Amino acid sequence: MKPYQEFTLSDYQQGYVATPTDYCCVFCQETFDKEEIYPVDGAFFTAKKRMMQHITEHHGTVLSALLTLPKEQTGLSESQQEILQLFAQDVSDTVIAQRLGISSSTVRNHRFKLKEKQRQATVFLSIMSLLQDTPLLPPHKGATMLDDRYAITASEREKIIATYFDETGFIKQFPSKEKRKIVVLSVLAQKFDPKKNYSEAAVNDVLKQAITDYVTVRRYLIEYGFMQRTKDGKTYWLT
């Protein structure tokens, strides 16, 4: 099941996401196996049809379900969410104004602002889709927290390496920014053989060839998941 941040526009519009094996509700994580047939009241339904029934039974319409999502997901204020729920019911501006204790012109102003928000969202989605066309390097296998720190392109990686490593491969100054730190650590991790175990002293010997503060970097290699070690700290290995 995807976290909500990864749902596409079409996922939200239909109320479910299709994976290779299942249909998953975006509102409650209910899942129906594509290979199963589901009996309901003496009839039998495919997984997709059963998912659509589930949404109607438990969430009403997709629009009403979307309007009940928390503001962290919708980006809407409470007043915006309230007035959109009334718009969804096709209530007139006059009736909305009476129910909310505002003027009809204020209702019209809300409509204008929401349309403006829609236009801005369209531009933002276009920007993000174009950014995603730039291929990103995959995170390392042991990455402990996948976030925007790992949004690194090949050209970014090359630039960071050129900035922080001198011509001999020694690190001029260890970076403080997360993305740069990850790139530098990934280069240092390549100095270790994944088929070997290393003592702490052996790890130090490898790192001393590239940086003065090898103790801090050794700790970072563990914290960021590039390397692992036994609880007693005697044996290290590449993740």
In this prediction, residue 3 carries a pLDDT of 45
So what's the architecture of 72-133 in CATH? Orthogonal Bundle (1.10)
Q: Are 205 and 167 in contact (CB under 8 A)?
A: no
Please check whether the two domains, 72-133 and 148-238, share a CATH topology: yes
| Residue 127, CA distances (Å) to 26, 53, 124, 153 in order | 24, 35, 5, 17
Q: Which residues, listed in sequence order, are joined to residue 18 by a DSSP beta bridge?
A: 23
List the chain pLDDT tens, one digit each, 239 residues: 444 446 888 899 999 999 889 999 999 989 999 999 999 989 999 999 999 999 999 999 999 999 999 888 888 998 899 999 999 999 999 999 999 999 999 999 999 999 999 999 999 888 877 766 555 555 656 666 655 666 778 888 889 999 999 999 999 899 999 889 989 999 999 999 999 999 999 999 999 999 999 999 999 999 999 999 999 999 999 98
Query: How open is the CA angle 21-26-30, to the nearest 5 degrees?
Result: 60
Residue 64 parent element (H or E) = helix 62-66
Residue 128 contacts by C-beta under 8 Å, 6 or more apart in sequence? none
d(CA 178, CA 210): 19
Sketch the domain layout of the chain as residue ranges: 1-66, 72-133, 148-238
pTM assigned to the model: 0.53
CATH number of the 148-238 domain: 1.10.10
Q: What is the β-pairing status of strands 22-25 and 31-33?
A: antiparallel
In this prediction, residue 189 carries a pLDDT of 93
